[in-house]
Amino acid sequence: MDDEREVLLAIAHLINRFGYETVCTTETSQALMLLSLRRFDAIVTDLRLSMPSGGVFASQAAILAPDVPLIVVTGAGDLQEISDLLGDTRVEAILPKATLNGGLVKALARSVASGKDAREAGQGARLMADGLVRALALRDVETEAHSRRVSAWTLMLAQRLGVPKQDWLRAELGGLLHDIGKFGVPDAILRKPGTLTEDEWVEMRRHPLLGCTILSGIPALAGAVDIVRSHHERWDGAGYPDRLGGDDIPWHARIFALVDTYDALTCDRPYRKGRCHSAAIEVIRAEAARQFDPRVVEALLDTPEPEWLSVPRIFADGHASG
């Protein structure tokens, strides 16, 4: 990925000489579409792109392909500028364009070797999760885009909080499948346009346990169970289904609970318009140590706004952008 065609072709030619196949583009929108449709062994991108900035593109690439190593090539010589553009995005290597030859071949070899096993192990689970989310979307049309947004945000905060890389797939799958138990909720309740009765709420609140039942027969998706079961627990112990509190709530579920609430606050509903980003942040800040783990709230507050808001732009509109 480079917005200068001549540079792009030169780097692609160099990569091809090393024996790799390349897919090239000068358009960030096309690059993001490709990442959403295909799996790659590595991403090689310029740092400073005209639109959006290289830092934003790098973070979007990390959201769409979290287990694909990111190699940044740059003409920038200022380390502070490089740091500012990348933010907290994790990269395999940062290489100056002037001396690409040896460095790029080593970075590619290291990236492909280190990431291949992890990608192959996770791909089957992702395909199954994608299929289940698409099936659920046939009953609840808002579910798919919502699930993909909250999955991406959960992964983003898990990385920021230092969750080990081997656990990232659990965060991603749990976010995608958190509402899978709604398969067991009757249509009359799931699609009801008005307020649910108390008895209907009792039925709706069964969906975390129903989700665990569905996943219990699919070993590849077992990592999603923490979020599926516990995504409605609260830090103060007033949630459901197990009334867990504090550190008894699994890490991934604590992260997810926050991003699920953020998505609910910022999405438009038939009966209200979604709140802007800053208003949603204030609601979440007020619920620290009550509804949410304060450490997760702090991680959200520390996330640059453009990086956070890149997620709804990738997966759907319907959110406030400021």
Task: State mean pLDDT over 248-272.
Answer: 91
CA distance 201 to 128: 29
**Same domain, yes or no: 291 and 151:** yes
Provide, rounded to the nearest whole percent, the portion of the chain with pLDDT above 90.
36
**Same domain, yes or no: 15 and 152:** no
Residue 260 belongs to some domain of the structure: yes
Is pLDDT at 141 greater than 70 in this prediction?
no
- Please, which pLDDT band fits residue 59 given cuts at 50, 70 and 90? confident
DSSP state of 274: P
Stronger pLDDT, 167 or 289, i.e. the higher one: 289
Determine the pLDDT at residue 278. Answer: 95
Nearest to 2 by CA among 23, 33, 20: 23
**Same domain, yes or no: 147 and 102:** no
| CATH number of the domain within which 107 lies | 3.40.50.2300
Region of poorest pLDDT, from 93-97, 119-123, 127-131, 185-189: 119-123
Residue 123 belongs to some domain of the structure: no
Provide, rounded to the nearest whole percent, the portion of the chain with pLDDT above 70.
89
Task: State mean pLDDT over 277-292.
Answer: 96
**Same domain, yes or no: 108 and 221:** no
**Same domain, yes or no: 156 and 285:** yes
Last residue of a domain, one of 114, 149, 184: 114
Looking at the structure of the chain, the number of domains it has is 2
Which structure tokens are listed for 60?
A: 């979007």
**Same domain, yes or no: 206 and 298:** yes
Is pLDDT at 54 greater than 70 in this prediction?
no
Determine the pLDDT at residue 300. Answer: 96
**Same domain, yes or no: 161 and 208:** yes
Last residue of a domain, one of 75, 99, 114: 114
CA distance 293 to 295: 5
Determine the pLDDT at residue 76. Answer: 67
Residue 130 belongs to some domain of the structure: no
For 206, counting Cβ atoms within 10 Å of its Cβ (0-12 exposed, 13-18 middle, 19+ buried), the class is: middle
Mean of the per-residue pLDDT values for the chain? Answer: 84
Is pLDDT at 118 greater than 60 in this prediction?
no
For 197-229, the pLDDT digits (tens) are 999 999 999 999 999 999 987 888 988 999 999
Nearest to 240 by CA among 202, 289, 195, 188: 202
**Same domain, yes or no: 185 and 264:** yes
Enclosing domain of residue 239: 139-315
273 is catalytic: no
**Same domain, yes or no: 110 and 143:** no
CA distance 24 to 34: 10
Residue pair 112/41 in contact (Cβ under 8 Å)? The answer is: yes
Determine the pLDDT at residue 255. Answer: 97
Is pLDDT at 9 greater than 50 in this prediction?
yes
> Which residue, chain included where needed, has tokens 């319907």?
318
**Same domain, yes or no: 147 and 228:** yes
- Please, which pLDDT band fits residue 320 given cuts at 50, 70 and 90? very low
Residue pair 211/178 in contact (Cβ under 8 Å)? The answer is: yes
Last residue of a domain, one of 97, 114, 131: 114
| CATH number of the domain within which 308 lies | 1.10.3210.10
Is pLDDT at 77 greater than 70 in this prediction?
no
Determine the pLDDT at residue 46. Answer: 87
Residue pair 311/153 in contact (Cβ under 8 Å)? The answer is: yes
Residue pair 149/47 in contact (Cβ under 8 Å)? The answer is: no
Task: State mean pLDDT over 147-152.
Answer: 89
Nearest to 243 by CA among 208, 192, 267: 208
CA distance 265 to 269: 9
Torsion angle of the four alpha carbons 104, 106, 108, 112, in this order, in degrees rounded to the nearest 10: 180
Q: Which of 97, 165, 182, 273 is catalytic?
A: 182
- Please, which pLDDT band fits residue 56 given cuts at 50, 70 and 90? low
Residue 125 belongs to some domain of the structure: no
**Same domain, yes or no: 154 and 99:** no
Residue 72 belongs to some domain of the structure: yes
